[in-house]
Amino acid sequence: MTDPNPLLAPFDRPFGLPPFEAIADAHFAPAFDAALEAARANVAAIAANPEPPTFANTIAALELAEEPLDRVSGVFFNLVSADATPAREALQRDLAPRLAAFSSEVTMNPALYARIADLWARRDSLGLTAEEARVLMVYRRMFLRAGAALSGAAAERMKAVKERLAVLGTAFAQNLLADERAWFMDLAEADLEGLPAFLVDAARAAGAERGRPGPVLTLNRALIVPFLQFSPRRDLREAAFRAWVARGANGGATDNRGIAAEILALRYERAQLLGHPDFASFKLEPEMAGSPAAVRDLLMRVWAPARARAEADAVELAAMLQADGLNGPLEPWDWRFYSERRRRAMHDLDEAAIKPYLSLTAMRAAAFDVANRLFGLEFRPLDVPLYHPDVRAWEVTRAGRHMAVFLADDFARPSKRSGAWMSVFRGQRKVGGERRPVVVNVCNFARGEPALLSWDDARTLFHEFGHALHAILSDVTYGFVAGTAVARDFVELPSQLYEHWLSLPAVLDRHARHHATGEPMPAGLRDRLLAAATWDQGFATVEYLASALVDLSFHEGAPPADPMARQAAVLAELGLPRAIPMRHATPHFAHVFAGDGYSAGYYSYMWSEVMDADAFAAFEEVGDPFDPDLAARLERHILSAGGSVAPEEAYVGFRGRMPGVDALLRGRGLRDAA
């Protein structure tokens, strides 16, 4: 290639956006080679510095040492998740062990760790700011947990374990995406009977995208869930459901069951090398929960009322099944269909009647409006080159000051992994010069003209935008603790808290307007929608808790030789209702096996929910969901602080105390369940 590699120099586009239009797949490999070489040289210089260690020449220097690598990685890993190509996936497989090896080189460098240990020993005499003291503590903890204190054969084995885990996590994610790409079901015109127009339109769009002559059903959640809700064809529901839950367990090259077993064994070995009894104890040590026992206590306090509610609902749904003349028990592919029918009967609520008022455009405007009213943020559309035609961009400002660039990549496509997430192309920091973030929300909504969202979709949009605000409002000096760089069981607080504003009548009255007429959602429909907010929470809570408890069991004690057998044993012991599956069965449990992020940590959504329910109650107590003083405290103590303070300190700073579980049970409508 004769053209300069656009990844090898600081980006010169407005607001530091990557030059997407100039980047080709062939640029990434040489850019990583050069970035790794530069990072190694910078880290080596810090470790070999003859001057006595100071915060500036060690910690602050490390903050900037990997700048070129951060720049290249920020582009590549966002693209390989949201818009994979064969070349990108091949490079990802190659990079996984190389980047893991580089991480070990840094965090297990004896000279570098000696400098950090020296600073830690003298920390009280260094005159550090509160943020610098926190950053030093987190760096030291990271090095120790990476194996910096190991030596000899133990150190070499730790490096090998981490490299192998990186390879396996990448393989797990790519296998799952391959299974999701491969499966689809052609739908004849007769198969569309009983489906609402929005679902038919989405199926036709999916068929066109895959080059099929007619509509298709894919494993995209935004398609398959409404199909399970609305299709009267039990045979098709069963076929679709079985394909959905079989992802990662279809045999052959993409089967993830053996990978999961090896991952669990290696995690256990990693924890033992560091002196922990098991991986759950190791992983939870720095989290708010602190121990597996604390996690299990919370989950089981919610399990009993959730299962009681789900079992009561199952009796009602089974009666409806039998009234239709169908023999046999209620099956997992029946639950959503009969629950939707029951909801329509009990609440006079039809999702097909709701969706015209929940267009993607309207719900995005609602999320922006709430951010403006709470935090004074303004959003201006940007016309700039981006990485895919689906992606849109906005400049975020406050009182004329540039705060961030926000990107939204909303629609499902075969090149995108499933789910929804927030990420950054670059994070916020002040050291080395003020840098504002470039933030992206990635979702998998069904296409349509216009795109119409379900209530769950709208909540997902608000959830991911809550994560985005955590990055957009970040105001720290050191990027190591910016934005979402917080404890795993604290990171979901801003996102889950933001969902509450979607349910405000005032927000819906302003933004839930019919996409064709502009008329607001009728008050009666709005009230029925909100009255049904806790509908099917027995099901939703049980399927989530089943996954969280299986995850915890996988990582407590010695690892199972057969994870599928352990999964079955845990579910049997819990008494999981027959017609409710785990939300994420082991072979497609990407949260836990596609990386370490949520391993022994899937519980964190509920841990954070305890806080988000209590946090929103603060606004309810003052009678104003947009109370400016509370909003300012929320920003100051939580959203802008990132990981610069301990999560307990951040929450108490906002609320004045730690929360209890009652607000969570009340919010899920489970407090009175037997």
Residues 311-333 pLDDT 10s: 999 999 999 999 999 999 999 99
Domain presence at residue 555: yes
* 672 confidence band (pLDDT: 50, 70, 90): low
Q: Which of 464, 492, 609, 635 is catalytic?
A: 464
Q: Give CA separation, 299 vs 48, 294, 310, 605, 665, in Å.
A: 48, 9, 16, 11, 12
Domain boundary among 130, 149, 168: 149
Closest CA to 535 of 401, 351, 385, 320: 351
Query: What is the rounded average pLDDT of the residues 462-481?
Result: 98
| Contact predicate 579/314, CB 8 Å | yes
Over residues 79-104, mean pLDDT: 97
**pLDDT digits over 341-392, tens only?**
999 998 888 888 899 999 999 999 999 999 999 999 999 999 999 999 999 9
| 146-158 tens-digit pLDDT | 999 999 999 999 9
**Does residue 7 lie in a domain region?**
no
Q: Would you give the distance in Å from CA 484 to the centre of its chain?
A: 11
Given a cut of 50, is residue 142 above it in pLDDT? yes
Residue 391 domain flag: yes
The whole domain housing 239 covers 183-247
How many structural domains comprise the chain? 4
Q: What is the CATH number of the domain that holds 93?
A: 1.20.1050.40
Residue 6 lies in a domain: no
Task: Answer yes or no: do 598 and 611 share one domain.
Answer: no
Together in a domain, 30 and 118: yes
Q: How far apart are CA 456 and CA 343, in angstroms?
A: 15
Q: Is residue 287 domain-shared with residue 392, that is, in the same domain?
A: no
Instruction: Answer with the one of 552, 571, 602 that is the final residue of a domain.
Output: 602
Query: Stretch 443-447: mean pLDDT, rounded?
Result: 94
CATH number at residue 488: 1.10.1370.40
- 47 and 143 part of one domain: yes
Tell me whether residue 407 is exposed, middle or buried, using C-beta atoms within 10 angstroms of its C-beta: 0 to 12, 13 to 18, 19 or more.
Answer: buried
Query: Residue 575: inside a domain, yes or no?
Result: yes
Q: Is residue 305 part of a domain?
A: yes
Is position 173 within any domain? Answer: no
**pLDDT given for residue 343 in this prediction:** 92
- Angle subtended by helix axes 221-230 and 197-209, to nearest 10: 140
Among 602, 617, 634, residue at a domain's last position? 602
**Residue 494 pLDDT grade (very low, low, confident, very high; cuts 50, 70, 90):** very high
Those residues whose C-beta lies under 8 Å from the C-beta of residue 375, and which sit 6 or more positions away, are: 398, 469, 473, 631, 635, 639
Lowest mean pLDDT among 113-117, 264-268, 454-458: 454-458
**Are 238 and 289 part of one and the same domain?**
no
Please check whether residues 522 and 434 belong to one and the same domain.
Answer: yes
Per-residue confidence (pLDDT) for residue 674, from 0 to 100: 45
Mean pLDDT, the chain, integer: 96
Q: Is 464 a catalytic residue?
A: yes
516 with 432, same domain: the answer is yes
